[in-house]
Amino acid sequence: MPTVTTTATLADVTASDAALRRYLHGLPGVDAVGLEARAASLGTRSIKTTAKAYALDLALSMIDLTTLEGADTPGKVRSLCAKAARPDPSDRTAPRSAAVCVYPDMVGTAREALTAAGAPEVKVASVATAFPAGRAALPVKLADARDAVAAGADEIDMVIDRGAFLSGRYMAVFEEIRAVREVCARSEGEPAHLKVIFENGELATYDNIRRASWLAMLAGADFIKTSTGKTGVNATPANTLLMLEAVRDFRAATDTQVGVKPAGGIRTAKDAVKYLVLVAETVGADWLSPEWFRFGASSLLNDLLMQRQKLSTGRYSGPDYVTVD
């Protein structure tokens, strides 16, 4: 386990690009075969009846409902917010979503819609920093995040500069995360939480995912997130397991807890339960809440509602039981 233990050593690790590089490249190498085997093994666990009902509701409460398209309209965002506030209009016991995630220019619309729906506890998240590619100058990225925070975003999902990371310019990535974190600290009220997106498919190796996890956490990330959902490789059980191990070890080393968000490719209740098992077996009950674990998977909500209704009534609903996004 890495040995960052005090504020002083944290400062030492991030004192220079060379120190940060030494630290990140000194992290234990990832046993890819062992990691994938453990993820596959945990994926075979099954849960029944009462435990399954609990898992379905927990997964519902962890979803960040997302619309991130060029064709997004205020009407589409309002519709998504209505769904987050009342996932199943026929069943008031269905948990609300954790958040609605939109582009910065739609934050105000989302905030107004959730307030009107009587669901102010549903967070408004916003992607920023030239999402999804992250290819923009730092002032542009900071302006992007600043606009979202000013409009009332509770959470900022930023993408790292993968080009800088892959070329070994770790301090540039570290400083960019720190700069966005400063933007998240509002002059009034609670700061916006910062989720840092790696785009694991582009990082290519498990060692890079581990390094990115520690880099983001050292820079002050509140959450680490697998992917944008805009590439061919998104969340997988193995890369999520690796990130869960990283947040576990980071808390043991620094007494600071960081959340994890797998995003992209999680579409069924069965998938969601597998991820919840990963959380329970790797980091434990402390992370089994929307405060510390999220799903970036809008299409997942519909299957969870279908499975929830099947568990309650013994039969599947018709195809018009849930809305199609």
User: Which residue has tokens 């990535």?
Assistant: 173
Q: Is 102 helix (H, G, I), strand (E, B) or coil?
A: strand
Q: Is 24 helix (H, G, I), strand (E, B) or coil?
A: helix
Query: Is the distance from CB of 130 to CB of 111 less than 8 angstroms?
Result: no
As a whole number of angstroms, the distance between CA 217 and CA 173 comes to 12
Give the model confidence (pLDDT) of 58-117 as tens digits: 999 999 999 999 999 999 999 999 999 999 998 999 999 999 999 999 999 999 999 999
Taking the mean position of all CA atoms in its chain, how far away is CA 184? 16
DSSP codes, 146-211: HHHHHTT-SEEEEEP-HHHHHTT-HHHHHHHHHHHHHHHS-SSSSPPEEEEE--HHHH-SHHHHHH
Q: Given 261, 271, 274, 303, which residue is catalytic?
A: 261
- Domains of the chain, first to last: 7-313 (3.20.20.70)
Q: Give the pLDDT of residue 82.
A: 96
276, with CB counted inside 10 A (0-12, 13-18, 19+), is buried
Query: Is the distance from CB of 263 to CB of 228 less than 8 angstroms?
Result: yes
The answer, as to whether pTM is greater than 0.95, is no
Which residues of the chain carry a pLDDT beneath 70? 1-8, 187, 314-325
Q: Given 225, 271, 274, 303, which residue is catalytic?
A: 225
Q: Give the pLDDT of residue 320.
A: 54
Q: Given 88, 144, 154, 157, which residue is catalytic?
A: 157
Active site residue 12: no
Q: Give the pLDDT of residue 244.
A: 98
Active site residue 157: yes
Q: Give the pLDDT of residue 237.
A: 96
Q: Give the pLDDT of residue 186.
A: 72
Q: Give the pLDDT of residue 298.
A: 81
